[in-house]
Amino acid sequence: MKKVLIATEKPFVTTAIKKIKKIFKEAGENYEVRLLEGYQSGNDLLQAVSDVDALIVRSDKIDREVIEASKHLKILVRAGSGYDNIDLGAATQKNIVVMNTPGQNANAVAELAIGLAIFGLREMFSGRPGGELRGRTLGLHGFGYVARNVFRIARSFGMKVIVFTRYSKSAAAAIGLKVTGSLEQLYEKSDIVSIHVPARGEHIRSVSYDVLKNLKDNALLINTSRKEVINEPDLIRIMEEKPFIKYLSDIKPDNENIFYERFPGRFFFTPKKAGAQTAEANTKAGLAAAEQIVKFFETGDSTFRVN
């Protein structure tokens, strides 16, 4: 019997859980599904992982301590895209296969990015005169699954879309999207910049002063990615230097209080990361995670392995 734990500090919608359980039930008598939802303490997680063979998580912190407490773990699936919450080195040392479910929640995050852009342009529905998406230039910083969905939606709003990407240039060019020669150029030419790069490698703190100083005086910066890709002191500096720039993010910055003190009416942070928090995204990412686990145990498939 394989024990599968779904450990989500931010739980999936109940219909997604039902469908996940069905996947394991249909795979035979071999799976027992356990739930640890909305847990408050790391100890609850440490106890729950001790005897499981497979683990499904979201942004839950899976550090070395959790990995070491998972005595029988063979596969860990991050139901979502970013796996910066997982200590890959510790998992690899213990021969644990780590996977993500790329693209499954991309539309949900993209819709939030567009929603934040409208909210910012409309002066956060304060009654002050705002602006419209149509005719404005949207700069996509990165061109993965989320950015491609943002592109699709933005085009239907009549926006001009440009992109900076190092790794997906041909994919962008294939759909007629203009790729800028540098990140600085992207920030310079855009009315709205939407960030879609992972918190890994060269992307960490890549949104620095040298990039931000190119923003138009009244630009909107939208971040549905991770706070680690922003150099926060540099963002604060540019918001002081250019008093009409706004920052709207699905991730609270470390120095949230500074934004409240210095930039009233110029920022918005979701209270809890909300990009992938839709019934559709929960279901797609959760089902993909369950299917990947069944395939892994039944056939040895490790297609979405990231370690």
Task: For ligand 3PG, give the closer residue by CB, 192 or 276.
Answer: 276
Q: How far is the CB of 10 from ligand 3PG (least distance, A)?
A: 6
Specify the 3-state DSSP secondary structure of 98.
strand
Rounded Cα–Cα distance for residues 277 and 53 (Å):
26
By CB under 6 A, tell whether 80 contacts ligand 3PG.
yes
Rounded Cα–Cα distance for residues 264 and 280 (Å):
34
Chain positions 5 to 64 lying near ligand 3PG, rule: CB under 6 A, are 10, 58-59
Of the candidate spans 74-82, 177-185, 187-195, 262-270, the one that interacts with ligand 3PG by CB under 6 A turns out to be 74-82
Q: How many residues bind ligand 3PG (CB under 6 A)?
A: 11
By CB under 6 A, tell whether 194 contacts ligand 3PG.
no
Q: How far is the CB of 225 from ligand 3PG (least distance, A)?
A: 8
Q: How far is the CB of 289 from ligand 3PG (least distance, A)?
A: 11
By CB under 6 A, tell whether 81 contacts ligand 3PG.
yes
Rounded Cα–Cα distance for residues 19 and 154 (Å):
32
Task: For ligand 3PG, give the closer residue by CB, 159 or 288.
Answer: 288
Task: For ligand 3PG, give the closer residue by CB, 103 or 131.
Answer: 103
By CB under 6 A, tell whether 82 contacts ligand 3PG.
yes
Nearest-CB residue for ligand 3PG: 80
Place of tokens 């491609």: 148
Q: How far is the CB of 9 from ligand 3PG (least distance, A)?
A: 8
By CB under 6 A, tell whether 273 contacts ligand 3PG.
yes
Q: Which residues of 161-187 are buried (b: 16+ CB within 10 A; e: fewer)?
A: bbbbbeebeeebeeeebebbeebeebb
Place of tokens 């949104």: 207
Q: How far is the CB of 137 from ligand 3PG (least distance, A)?
A: 26
Q: Which of 241, 198, 240, 222 is nearest to 84 (CA)?
A: 198
Q: For residue 196, what are the CA distances in angstroms to 65, 71, 82, 244?
A: 30, 35, 11, 23
The answer to whether the beta carbons of residues 135 and 159 sit under 8 Å apart is: yes
Task: For ligand 3PG, give the closer residue by CB, 11 or 177.
Answer: 11
Of the candidate spans 126-134, 232-240, 259-267, 272-280, the one that interacts with ligand 3PG by CB under 6 A turns out to be 272-280
Chain positions 275 to 294 lying near ligand 3PG, rule: CB under 6 A, are 275-277
By CB under 6 A, tell whether 105 contacts ligand 3PG.
yes
Q: How far is the CB of 38 from ligand 3PG (least distance, A)?
A: 13
* Residue 220 CB partners (closer than 8 Å, separation 6+): 117, 120, 121, 191, 192, 193, 245, 246, 247, 248
Task: Give the DSSP per-residue string, 229-298.
Answer: GB-HHHHHHHHHHSTT-EEEESS--TTHHHHHHH-TTSEEE-SS--TT-SHHHHHHHHHHHHHHHHHHHH
By CB under 6 A, tell whether 196 contacts ligand 3PG.
no
Task: For ligand 3PG, give the closer residue by CB, 58 or 266.
Answer: 58
The answer to whether the beta carbons of residues 20 and 289 sit under 8 Å apart is: yes
Give the footprint of ligand 3PG on this chain (CB under 6 A). 10, 58-59, 80-82, 105, 273, 275-277
